C-alpha cells in the first residue's frame, strides 16, 4: 500500500481523501509537477520548483517559494517511505486552490491550498529508448497558457488517447499546422541538417528536460534553432525526438504511419540521448 502526502500528513492511499468541493476536482484549479528521482535523489529539483512557483503565481494561488521548497523534503521522505531509494521513481506534486463552495471567482482568502504528493516506481522503457517510438500528429486544442503546468489536461488527454488507440506513444500537437510540442513532451526535429524546436512562448511548457537538452546541444556544438516548424517540415525531418521527465530523450521513428528518416534513431538523437543519460545518472549521484 503506497504512502501519499496530503496536507501535512503521510497517509496510506485509502486515507488520502479530498473534499468534493476541492477546486482541483471542480475546476482543474491547480498546478502540478512531475519530478524524476534516481536512487533517492531528485533530478533538477530547482528547475521543477521554479516552474511550479511561476505557475502558482500565474494562477494567483497563495503558495510561494518557501512552501514549494518544503515539498523537496516531502518528496525525499516519500521515496524512502515507499521503499524506492534503490530504484527510479516518479514524484507527482499537485497544489490546488483548496476546497470551498463552488464559485467561478476565487474563494475567500482564508481557503487553504490542497497539497498532494505521491511517489511511484518508474521502470525505464529501454526498448523504446533504443528502438524509438511512433507518434501521431494531432490538433493542439489547449488554451493559451500552456507554459503553466495546470491540472487541466483535457487537450493532452484526448490527444494521447488518440495516439494510444492506434498503438502510438505520443501525439505531436500542432496549431494551424505549426508544431508546438507533444501531449506530455517537448518535440525536437532535425530539418535540413539543423535541430529545431518551438521557442519558449506560452504555447508550450518550458520542459525541464528541454532545458537540459538545450544546454547539451550547446556543449556539443549541434546546430540548433529555436524556431517553430510546420507539419510539412516535420514530414521531411531526418530525425525527430521527444523529451520529458519520464520520456528522457526518446527517438520517434514513425509519424502517422510514415517512417522518419531511416526508420532508426538518428545520429543527433543518439548523441543527445547518450549525453542526457550520462548527465541524468551522474548529476543524480553528485547531488546525493
Contact positions toward ligand PLP, by CB under 6 A? 34, 156, 181, 184-186, 205, 207-210, 244-245
Q: What is the nearest approach in angstroms of ligand PLP to the Cβ of residue 184? A: 4
**CA nearest 216: which of 249, 184, 247?**
249
Q: What is the nearest approach in angstroms of ligand PLP to the Cβ of residue 274? A: 18
- Beta-strand (E) ranges in the chain? 3-6, 9-12, 30-38, 41-42, 88-96, 114-121, 133-139, 170-175, 178-182, 186-191, 194-197, 224-225, 239-244, 248-255, 258-259
Q: What is the nearest approach in angstroms of ligand PLP to the Cβ of residue 103? A: 28
Closer to ligand PLP at the Cβ: 49 or 208? Answer: 208
Query: What is the C-alpha separation between 144 and 110, in angstroms, rounded?
Result: 29
Q: Number of helices (H) and strands (E), helices first, in the chain?
A: 8, 15
Closer to ligand PLP at the Cβ: 99 or 160? Answer: 160
Question: If you search the block for the grid coordinates 535523489, which residue do you land on?
Answer: 41
Q: What is the nearest approach in angstroms of ligand PLP to the Cβ of residue 8? A: 26
Alpha-carbon 151 to chain mean position: 12
Query: What is the C-alpha separation between 23 and 240, in angstroms, rounded?
Result: 38
Closer to ligand PLP at the Cβ: 98 or 207? Answer: 207
Q: What is the nearest approach in angstroms of ligand PLP to the Cβ of residue 186? A: 5
Closer to ligand PLP at the Cβ: 207 or 265? Answer: 207
Query: What is the C-alpha separation between 284 and 159, in angstroms, rounded?
Result: 32
Closer to ligand PLP at the Cβ: 6 or 151? Answer: 151
Active site residues: 149
Amino acid at each position: 500500500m503506497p504512502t501519499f502526502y496530503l496536507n501535512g500528513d503521510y497517509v496510506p492511499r485509502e486515507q488520502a481523501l479530498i473534499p468534493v468541493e476541492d477546486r482541483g476536482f471542480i475546476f482543474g484549479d491547480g498546478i502540478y509537477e512531475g519530478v524524476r528521482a534516481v536512487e533517492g535523489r531528485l533530478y533538477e529539483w530547482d528547475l521543477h520548483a521554479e516552474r511550479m512557483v511561476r505557475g502558482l503565481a500565474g494562477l494567483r494561488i497563495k503558495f510561494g517559494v518557501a512552501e514549494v521548497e518544503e515539498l523537496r523534503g516531502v518528496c525525499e521522505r516519500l521515496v524512502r517511505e515507499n521503499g524506492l531509494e534503490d530504484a527510479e521513481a516518479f514524484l507527482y506534486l499537485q497544489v490546488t486552490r483548496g476546497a470551498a463552495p463552488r464559485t467561478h471567482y476565487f474563494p475567500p482568502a482564508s481557503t487553504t491550498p490542497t497539497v498532494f504528493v505521491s511517489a511511484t516506481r518508474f521502470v525505464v522503457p529501454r526498448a523504446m529508448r533504443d528502438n524509438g517510438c511512433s507518434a501521431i500528429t494531432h490538433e493542439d486544442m489547449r488554451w493559451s497558457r500552456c507554459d503553466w503546468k495546470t491540472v487541466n489536461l483535457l487537450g493532452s488527454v484526448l490527444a494521447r488517447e488518440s495516439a494510444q488507440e492506434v498503438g502510438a506513444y505520443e501525439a505531436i500537437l500542432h496549431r494551424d499546422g505549426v508544431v508546438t510540442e507533444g501531449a506530455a513532451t517537448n518535440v525536437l526535429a532535425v530539418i535540413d541538417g539543423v535541430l529545431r524546436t518551438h521557442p519558449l512562448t506560452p504555447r508550450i511548457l518550458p520542459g525541464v528536460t528541454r532545458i537540459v537538452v538545450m544546454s547539451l546541444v550547446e556543449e556539443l556544438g549541434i546546430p540548433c534553432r529555436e524556431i517553430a516548424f510546420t507539419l510539412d517540415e516535420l514530414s521531411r525531418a531526418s530525425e525527430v525526438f521527444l523529451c520529458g521527465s519520464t520520456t528522457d530523450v526518446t527517438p520517434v521513428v514513425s509519424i502517422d504511419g510514415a517512417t522518419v528518416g531511416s526508420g532508426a534513431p538518428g545520429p543527433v538523437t543518439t548523441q543527445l540521448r547518450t549525453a542526457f543519460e550520462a548527465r541524468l545518472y551522474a548529476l543524480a549521484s553528485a547531488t546525493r
